[in-house]
């Protein structure tokens, strides 16, 4: 990456800073999380910091057991939540998550194009193939990852063609002749594929001549292949700089194989930031957040991801390569399973250590626990090594940690000219391509 290239930065609207025990803090405002003002406040702060976008991950199931100790992933519908933010902001991109596994593509194309109109061209689609929730949609089994990616590729192509099926230029609104639209430009797509059949056209014109950016999450070989063929960015789990560098180089190479430019795909890892005024306070914040960590649930998740049953192991025993069984066939996320295996192979950690690592407790995200200075230094290091094109901030520990990201960290990056100091474009794609 050239030194002048600016970072792309997104902010999570999933309140990651309330996870673990952080929601129990007196200043957490946990009662407000389902109100529209809650996310709006963060979106406005993010726009004031000139961020590329705010981002909502999503899932379509509820882990009832986890509700005993925290809010988990229950949330407002992301696209509806972002519609409420669209009217109250003017520049920031709005990245919503919709799975290609459960909902029909016509509905998805229409929802996204609707939000694109409402926001004046600021919508983006994070394409996921989902981890769970099949029984909420009449499927007794979760389709295999390969089948989900095949369907995702077909689905994304249909959505793109539906958006093109009623182009903005078809609208004439010619009062004198009485012609509202040139109907010859509005065409069915007549898609009849392996997984889906859709006639089209979409019943809503495209907003202007801009394109809706696509982001993808999932980094198995199938996920990388899909992302590099269509996506403008990938939301990734990269717990260390080597993982990020490898993924970025591989995606860029694959993009070229698909006839695109290497720079068409941007690596944006999740960045978990536990920030405070001193390192000591930040370390305490992290510790408090994970104090009441439910070890039994973590050990179950290690078992599901690796096939390794550590439930009776002493805390100080090291886990080594020799202990690892072959990767289980049925996996929720191959990306996360491979990253956990990789950690064990590289470091042979103790059970106690393993239970505090991002691969087990933090979706395998890049994690910084420290001061704003520490975070700036680490981000500069990753950027100058060519490991990232930007990041999606998933702050942890407390509301004040999230505020430090927006009020101090991002302005510092802007002062160093690693990030924009103002918007130059209007649409989400403008920001990404700036």
Ligand X SMILES: Cc1cc2nc3c(=O)[nH]c(=O)nc-3n(C[C@H](O)[C@H](O)[C@H](O)COP(=O)(O)O)c2cc1C
Binding site for ligand X (CB under 6 A): 57-59, 97, 99, 128-131, 145, 217-220, 222-223, 235-237, 270, 333-335
Given the complex with ligand X, which of 136 and 315 has the nearer CB atom?
136
CB of 422 to ligand X, least distance (A): 29
Q: Is residue 398 a contact partner of residue 278, using CB atoms and an 8 Å limit?
A: no
CA distance 389 to 156: 24
Q: Which is nearer to ligand X, 159 or 372 (CB)?
A: 159
Q: How many angstroms separate the CA atoms of 212 and 125, rounded? A: 7
The nearer residue to ligand X, 51 or 152, going by C-beta atoms, is: 152
C-beta closer to ligand X: residue 217 or 276: 217
Tell the smallest beta-carbon distance from residue 242 to ligand X (Å): 17
156 vs 202, beta carbon nearer ligand X: 156
Q: Report the nearest approach of ligand X to the CB of residue 331 (Å).
A: 7
150-153 contacts: CB < 8 A, separation 24 or more?
Answer: 150/194, 150/195, 151/100, 151/101, 151/195, 151/196, 152/100, 152/101, 152/127, 152/226, 153/226, 153/229, 153/230
Whole-angstrom distance, CA of residue 153 vs CA of residue 161: 12
With both helix axes pointing from N to C terminus, report the angle between 105-119 and 145-165 in degrees, rounded to the nearest 10: 50
Instruction: CB nearer to ligand X: give 334 or 357.
Output: 334
Least separation, in Å, of the C-beta of 196 and ligand X?
18
Provide CB contacts within 8 A for 55, sequence distance 6+: 10, 11, 12, 13, 95, 97, 126, 235, 392
In whole angstroms, the minimum distance from the beta carbon of 347 to ligand X comes to: 21
We find the least distance from the C-beta atom of residue 152 to ligand X, in angstroms, to be 8
Nearer to ligand X, 130 or 414 (CB): 130
Q: What is the largest CA-CA distance in the chain?
A: 83
Which CB sits closer to ligand X, 274 or 366?
Answer: 366
Enumerate residues 6+ apart whose C-beta is below 8 A from 345.
321, 324
* CA terminus-to-terminus distance, the chain: 15
């Amino acid at each position: 990456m050239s030194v002048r290239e600016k970072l792309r930065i997104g902010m999570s609207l999933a309140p990651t800073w309330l996870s673990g025990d952080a929601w129990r803090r007196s200043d957490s405002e946990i009662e407000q999380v389902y109100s529209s003002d809650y996310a709006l406040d963060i979106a406005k702060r993010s726009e004031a910091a000139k961020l590329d976008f705010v981002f909502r991950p999503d899932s379509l199931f509820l882990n009832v057991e986890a509700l005993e100790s925290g809010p988990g992933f229950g949330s407002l519908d992301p696209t509806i939540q972002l519609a409420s933010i669209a009217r109250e902001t003017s520049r920031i991109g709005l990245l919503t998550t919709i799975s290609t596994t459960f909902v029909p593509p016509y509905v998805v194309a229409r929802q996204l194009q609707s939000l694109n109109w409402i926001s004046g061209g600021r919508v983006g689609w994070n394409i996921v193939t989902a981890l769970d929730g099949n029984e909420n949609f009449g499927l007794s089994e979760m389709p295999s990852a390969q089948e989900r990616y095949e369907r995702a590729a077909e689905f994304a192509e249909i959505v793109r063609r539906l958006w093109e099926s009623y182009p903005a230029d078809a609208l004439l609104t010619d009062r004198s002749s009485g012609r509202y639209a040139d109907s010859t430009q509005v065409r069915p797509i007549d898609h009849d594929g392996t997984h889906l059949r859709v006639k089209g056209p979409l019943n809503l014109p495209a907003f202007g001549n801009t394109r809706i950016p696509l982001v993808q999450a999932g980094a198995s070989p199938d996920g990388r292949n899909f992302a590099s063929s269509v996506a403008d960015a990938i939301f990734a789990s990269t717990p260390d700089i080597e993982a990020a560098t490898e993924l970025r180089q591989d995606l860029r190479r694959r993009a070229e194989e698909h006839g695109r430019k290497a720079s068409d795909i941007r690596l944006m890892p999740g960045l978990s930031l536990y920030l405070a005024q001193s390192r000591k306070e930040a370390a305490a914040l992290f510790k408090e957040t994970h104090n009441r960590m439910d070890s039994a649930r973590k050990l179950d998740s290690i078992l599901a991801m690796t096939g390794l049953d550590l439930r009776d192991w002493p805390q100080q025993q090291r886990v080594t390569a020799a202990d690892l069984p072959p990767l289980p066939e049925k996996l929720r996320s191959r990306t996360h399973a491979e990253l956990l295996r990789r950690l064990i192979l590289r470091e042979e950690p103790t059970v106690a250590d393993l239970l505090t690592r991002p691969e087990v407790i933090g979706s395998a995200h890049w994690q910084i626990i420290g001061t704003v200075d520490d975070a700036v230094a680490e981000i500069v290091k990753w950027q100058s090594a060519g490991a990232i094109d930007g990041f999606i901030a998933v702050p942890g520990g407390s509301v004040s940690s999230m505020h430090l990201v927006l009020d101090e960290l991002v302005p510092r990056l802007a002062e160093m000219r690693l990030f924009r100091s103002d918007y130059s474009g209007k649409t989400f794609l403008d920001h990404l391509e700036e």
